Amino acid sequence: MSDAIAASAPRLALFDLDHTLLSGDTDVLWCEYLMQQGLLDSAAFASRNADMAMRYADASVTAREFCDFYASTLAGRSIAEWRPVCERFLRDIVVPLIPAAARALVESHRQQGDRLVLTTATNRVLTELTARHLGIADLIATEVELNSGRCTGRTLGTLNMREGKVTRLQSWLVEQGLPASLLAGAIFYSDSANDLPLLRAVAEPVVVDPDERLLAVAQALQWRVLRLARRG
């Protein structure tokens, strides 16, 4: 791709979802919602859900283990069968947890003419409606495996987590016919040390209400720290 074409491409504004634009974790909230709705056995699952969330926070879980654990909640149904449940989940749980400050942040980049990308380790089934609600057309998420149209409970391809976020974004640029140099010139917002590979790959890393490990790195490297007004 020519330098002229690369120069004319809009800047990428990359956003993590959980604990960044959303005041919570989609996967954890999803499991809690399924248990509340009687679609998941709380006696068997509640403690495993809490343990997985804790291990993600301290980076002691592998990407495959983490993503497959939550994909397992989708097993046995088609995406079409899950859609009405996902729509209620979005309306009742997710939307109320998106603070006005997060919406304003997204809108500020839209007004600047940046190309908005939501990049999340959470699977596409759970995040596609959230991206649409936020008006973000480009979603890079962990993909789920289908067999005869039904979710197998496993993930597919490169997981969009840790180093995988960089790999998937590079592949997405190729698919979109965009210059690879856009990654190095991007801005990326995230709360988690799990996103350090992508934060280190962009021109402007911004940590949002960061966890302790990410805050320490941000302070050492003099990255911008953003605090969003959140309810409760």
Q: In the chain, what are the domains?
A: 3-226 (3.40.50.1000)
Tokens in use for 165? 């976020």
pTM above 0.75, yes or no: yes
Q: What average pLDDT score do residues 170-179 get? A: 97
The pLDDT value recorded for residue 2 is: 46
The pLDDT value recorded for residue 1 is: 47
Cβ within 8 Å of residue 108, ≥6 positions away: none
Kindly report, residue by residue over 33-62, the tens digit of the pLDDT.
Answer: 999 999 998 888 888 888 888 888 787 888
195 is catalytic: no
Contact between 78 and 149 under an 8 Å Cβ cutoff? The reply is: yes
Q: Out of 3, 18, 51, 211, which one is annotated catalytic?
A: 18
Contact between 207 and 218 under an 8 Å Cβ cutoff? The reply is: yes
Cα within 13 Å of Cα(177), Cβ side: 1
18 is catalytic: yes
Comparing 130 with 43, which gets the higher pLDDT? 130
Q: Out of 3, 16, 68, 92, which one is annotated catalytic?
A: 16
Contact between 14 and 169 under an 8 Å Cβ cutoff? The reply is: yes
State the Cα–Cα distance between residues 97 and 19, nearest whole angstrom.
10
